Structure 1
Amino acid sequence: MIIQAKYSTQEFEQLFIDLIKKIYWAERHLARVLPKIISGVSCHKISHAIYKHLEDTQEHVNRLEEVFKNLQVKSHPKKCHKIEGLLKEARTIIDDTAADSMLRDADIIIASQRVLHYKISSYGSLVKIAVKMEIKDIAEILIKTLDEERETDSILTRLAISRIQKVSIRA
C-alpha cells in the first residue's frame, strides 16, 4: 500500500481504506438494485433521473477501482449495512405500494435521496481525509463523484417537489 502523506498514521490510512471498501460495496450493490427501482417508477422524468444515476453509479464503481489501483490495495468490497438497509427499504416501497401511483413515485424519490445523502456524506468525508493525507489525485477522483451525487440529489429534489405537490393536489 502506497500512501505518502505528511499527516497520516497507519490507523488513519486503514480508516480511509475501510471507508473506500464500504462505498465500493455500496456502489456495486446499488448498481444491481437500481434497475428494479427504475421498473417501479411510473413517471418518465423520475425513471430517467434514476437511470442516469445508474449510469453514474457504474462510473463510480470504475473510479473506485482506479482509487484502489492508485493506493495499490486490492479492491475487496466491505459490506455496508447502512446502504443495504436503505436499499431494502426502497425495494419494500415497490412491493407495498400500488403500481403506477404518484405516491409510489414520491416514496421512491425519498428513498433514493436517503441513499444519495449517505453517499454524499461518505464521499465528502473521503475527500476531506484524502486532502488531509495529501493524496491529491485520489481527492480529485472523489470530488468528481461527490459533485455528481450532489447534482443527482438536486435533480431528485426538484422532481420530488413536483411529485409531492401533485399528490397533495389529488388528496
Structure 2
Amino acid sequence: MATQEQQSPSALELFFRRTLQEIYWSELHLRDVLETMAERAGTEELKSAFHTHRLETNDHVSRLEKIFHQKNMGAQPVFCLGMQGLFDEGWQVIDETEAGSAHRDAALIVAAQKVEHYEIATYGSLRTLAKTLGCEAAVGLFEQTLAEEKKTDGILTELAEKGINAAAGIEPLAEEKSPPPDTGSIGTESESTANAMKEAVDGLDAGAGSADASEGVEASAPGSADALLFDDDGKPKGKRGNARKKN
C-alpha cells in the first residue's frame, strides 16, 4: 500500500501537469497569432517586436518539450480556455480597427500585453510549483522563459509610450476620414482577417489538441468567437461559440 501511495501522483502534481499542457497549447497557437499580428501592425518597430517574440516562442515550445521529457510525459497540448479568450480579443482588434492606423497598433499592443501578462503569471506559478515538487531542472527552464516574457512586455510598453499611443490619441475616427478611391478591389479587411485566420488554422500541426490532449475539452484553434472545432484526428468538424466539454 505504501509503495502504491508513493508512486501515485499527488493532486498538486496532476495540477502541475495540466497547467503545463495548457501553456504548451497556448505557445503552439501563439506562434500563428503573433505572425498575423506582425502582418497587421502598421509600424516597422511593432512588426519587428512581434516577429522577434514569435522566434522566442519557438524556444518556449522547445523548453516545454524538455520538461515533458523530464517528467516522462508525452508532449500533449490541452485546450486553454483563458488563452483562447485572449486570442479572440486579438482577432477582434484586427476586425474593428483600420489598417495602418495608430489606433490599431495601440490596440494590438494592449491585446499582446494581455497575452504576455497571462504567460508571466502562468510561468511564474509553474516555476513555484516546480520548486515545491522538486523539479529543479524545470525551474531553470521556466525562469528563462519568464525573463523573455517580461522583456517582451517591457518592449511593448516602450513602443506604446514612445509614440504609438500619442499618435492614436490625435488620430481622427475612421469615418471622419475621406473615403479611399474606388479601385475595384474585392473583399474587406474583415474578410482578409478571416482568410488569415483560416491559413493559421490550416498551418497548425494536425495532432495538436488530439489524443490525450483532447480529453474532457474540445480542442480549438485560435480565431474568432466562431473558431473551428476539431475531431480527434485533427480534422475540422464545425464551429464553436464557447468551449464545450465532451459528453
Q: Same fold (TM over 0.5)?
A: yes
Q: 1:136 Cα deviation (Å)? A: 1.0
Contact 1:28 1:61 in 2 (8 A): yes
Structure 2 gaps of 5+ residues are 1-8, 173-247
Contact 2:101 2:168 in 1 (8 A): no
Q: 1:50 Cα deviation (Å)? A: 0.8
Aligned partner of 1:30 in structure 2 is 30
Aligned counterparts, 1:118-133, within 5 A: 118-133=118-133
Aligned partner of 2:140 in structure 1 is 140
Partners of 1:153 and 1:33 lie apart in 2 by 16
2:114 corresponds to 1:114: yes
Q: Partner amino acid for 1:165?
A: A
Aligned partner of 1:40 in structure 2 is 40
- Aligned CA RMSD, in angstroms, stands at 1.4
Q: 1:65 Cα deviation (Å)? A: 0.5
Q: Comparing both chains, which one has the higher relative contact order based on Cα–Cα distances under 8 Å and sequence gaps of 6 or more?
A: 1
Partners of 1:169 and 1:91 lie apart in 2 by 24
Q: When the two structures are aligned, how many residues end up with a matched partner?
A: 164
Aligned partner of 2:75 in structure 1 is 75
Aligned partner of 1:161 in structure 2 is 161
**Cα shift readout 1:78-132 (whole Å, capped 9, x = no counterpart):** 1001111111110111122110000000000000000000000000000001111
Partners of 1:48 and 1:129 lie apart in 2 by 33
Whichever structure has more helix as a proportion of its residues is: 1
Q: 1:169 Cα deviation (Å)? A: 4.1
Q: Partner amino acid for 2:100?
A: D
Q: 1:170 Cα deviation (Å)? A: 4.3
Q: 1:168 Cα deviation (Å)? A: 2.0
Q: 1:38 Cα deviation (Å)? A: 0.9
Aligned partner of 1:4 in structure 2 is none
Determine what percentage of the aligned residue pairs are the same residue: 34
Q: Secondary structure at the match of 1:134?
A: coil
Structure 1 gaps of 5+ residues are 1-8
With the length of structure 2 as denominator, give the TM-score of the two structures.
Answer: 0.64
Partners of 2:135 and 2:58 lie apart in 1 by 23
**Cα shift readout 1:53-85 (whole Å, capped 9, x = no counterpart):** 101111101110011001101111110011111
With the length of structure 1 as denominator, give the TM-score of the two structures.
Answer: 0.92
Aligned partner of 2:94 in structure 1 is 94
Q: Partner amino acid for 1:164?
A: N
Contact 2:25 2:79 in 1 (8 A): yes
